[in-house]
């Protein structure tokens, strides 16, 4: 619940931030750089924060991240230039890395291996509920009141999430009355990265970060320029994608625990980027919402199995380390996506970013799938075999 509330706050500014950045008379490339600042810091600190949480506990870092995020949210109301926006996004990105990936690791710690798909995807569903509600609220607040009102709402929701964690989430390290944790993995991070399924997970989520952040940055500008959408309509479109994940993540997690995961990864991994080509040709609000919901559904199908695999690996090699690598890979894609998309916008126009995102998504999904299949074609033994080989290599 706390993570969902925090992500409502983050999502509130999604439909208005590109328009806010555009008010500084910036080029597409400059807007892309400003948006890349947030994931750049996430990519840099992800593995470090993940390993740190394996050693000192998850709850402490979550509270620090939410506290810093709350303060920084208010600073959006006083910035006066694009470089200040980029600097603020950079620091806030590092704070956010202490929240969602570490909360994922906390849930992974208490999840039995045989229920990895269902439980982790139940948590992800709560995240997508928050992210899907955020743009709806933010678009309405921005259009009804002002951009500054949305920034204040983001800060208030961060405070609420902080209180929920402080009051209801048990400490998981070094506290009285808390069950002693099992020893966490001392396997070197580089040895974990070399596991084929881990490489596949990182590449897959890096490509998703690439086109999703590109979409968040430039679809609002395309919708305003081409279809005349307002902030509220843009919020509906962005929310439709996340709503698809919120609705379907839990049932797809159930499938990931009971059926072969490779076909689910392949169908979802290829289906979502293929539909990106359709988006610029859909002119009405209900139709584009349906397309975005379908993209979210395909993404949820692949993500459900990938999260189950990641959680199983985390039981051996450190849940925080795997969550940090996942978050860092996704953020690396987010760093590259907006500036590269901005270059395409400046060179040939907004329309051509959609084929770019589709090609990147398809290529990365194909390579990642080969890494999964190369390790083992039987899905479940993939993880146990990878664990054994990594442990032998470290020894």
At 25-82, the pLDDT tens digits run 777 778 777 777 887 888 888 778 877 888 888 898 899 988 988 888 888 878 778 8
Degrees (nearest 5) of the Cα angle 294, 217, 37? Answer: 125
Is 20's pLDDT higher than 80? no
Spatial separation of the C-alpha atoms in residues 342 and 214, rounded to whole Å:
9
Spatial separation of the C-alpha atoms in residues 206 and 194, rounded to whole Å:
16
Spatial separation of the C-alpha atoms in residues 240 and 85, rounded to whole Å:
27
Structure tokens at 338: 């907006």
Q: pLDDT, tens digit, for every residue of 303-342? A: 988 988 888 877 777 777 787 788 788 888 888 888 899 8
Domains and CATH numbers, the chain: 2-172+184-394 (1.20.1250.20)
Please give the pLDDT value at position 187.
Answer: 60
Give 357's pLDDT tier (boundaries 50, 70, 90). very high
Lowest mean pLDDT among 9-13, 149-153, 231-235: 9-13
Structure tokens at 274: 């293929």
Nearest to 255 by CA among 300, 295, 204, 310: 300
Give 291's pLDDT tier (boundaries 50, 70, 90). very high
CA 357 to chain centroid, in Å, comes to: 16
Is 233's pLDDT higher than 50? yes
pTM of the model: 0.71
Lowest mean pLDDT among 36-50, 121-135, 164-178, 223-237: 164-178
Average pLDDT of the chain to the nearest whole number? 80
Asked if 209 contacts 330 with a C-beta cutoff of 8 angstroms, the reply is yes
Residue carrying the six token digits 């919020």: 235
Spatial separation of the C-alpha atoms in residues 150 and 98, rounded to whole Å:
23
Asked if 95 contacts 44 with a C-beta cutoff of 8 angstroms, the reply is no
Degrees (nearest 5) of the Cα angle 150, 155, 160? Answer: 120
When pLDDT is averaged across residues 2-20 and rounded to a whole number, the result is: 73
Asked if 154 contacts 12 with a C-beta cutoff of 8 angstroms, the reply is yes
Q: pLDDT, tens digit, for every residue of 161-171? A: 899 899 998 88
Degrees (nearest 5) of the Cα angle 44, 295, 3? Answer: 50
Asked if 39 contacts 335 with a C-beta cutoff of 8 angstroms, the reply is yes
């Amino acid at each position: 619940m706390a993570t969902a509330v925090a992500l409502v706050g983050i999502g509130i500014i999604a439909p208005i931030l590109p328009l806010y950045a555009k008010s500084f008379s910036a080029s597409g490339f400059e807007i892309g750089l400003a948006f890349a600042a947030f994931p750049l810091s996430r990519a840099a600190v992800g593995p470090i924060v993940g390993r740190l949480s394996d050693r000192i506990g998850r709850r402490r870092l979550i509270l620090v991240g939410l506290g810093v995020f709350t303060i920084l949210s208010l600073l959006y109301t006083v910035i006066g230039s694009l470089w200040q926006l980029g600097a603020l996004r950079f620091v806030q990105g590092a704070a956010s890395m202490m929240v969602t990936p570490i909360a994922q690791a906390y849930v992974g710690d208490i999840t039995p291996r045989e229920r990895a798909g269902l439980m982790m995807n139940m948590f992800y569903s709560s995240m997508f509920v928050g992210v899907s509600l955020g743009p709806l609220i933010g678009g309405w607040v921005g259009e009804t009141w002002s951009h500054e009102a949305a920034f204040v709402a983001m800060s208030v929701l961060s405070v609420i999430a902080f209180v929920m964690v402080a009051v209801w989430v048990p400490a998981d390290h070094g506290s009285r009355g808390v069950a002693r944790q099992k020893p966490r993995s001392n396997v070197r991070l580089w040895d974990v990265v070399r596991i084929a399924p881990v490489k596949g997970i990182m590449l897959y989520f890096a490509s998703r970060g690439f086109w999703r952040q590109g979409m968040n940055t430039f679809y609002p500008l395309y919708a305003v320029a081409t279809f005349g959408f307002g902030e509220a309509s843009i919020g509906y479109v962005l929310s439709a994608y996340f709503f698809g994940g919120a609705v379907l993540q839990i049932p797809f997690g159930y499938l990931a625990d009971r059926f072969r995961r490779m076909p689910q990864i392949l169908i979802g991994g290829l289906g979502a980027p293929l539909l990106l080509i359709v988006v610029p040709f859909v002119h009405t609000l209900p139709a584009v919402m349906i397309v975005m919901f379908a993209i979210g559904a395909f993404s949820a199908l692949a993500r459900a199995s990938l999260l189950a695999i990641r959680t199983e690996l985390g039981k051996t090699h450190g849940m925080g380390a795997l969550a940090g690598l996942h978050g860092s890979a996704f953020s690396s894609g987010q760093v590259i996506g907006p500036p590269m998309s901005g270059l395409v916008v400046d060179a040939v126009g907004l329309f051509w970013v959609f084929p770019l995102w589709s090609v990147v998504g398809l290529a990365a999904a194909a390579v990642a799938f080969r890494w999964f299949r190369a390790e083992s074609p039987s899905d479940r033994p993939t993880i146990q075999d990878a664990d054994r080989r990594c442990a032998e290599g470290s020894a």
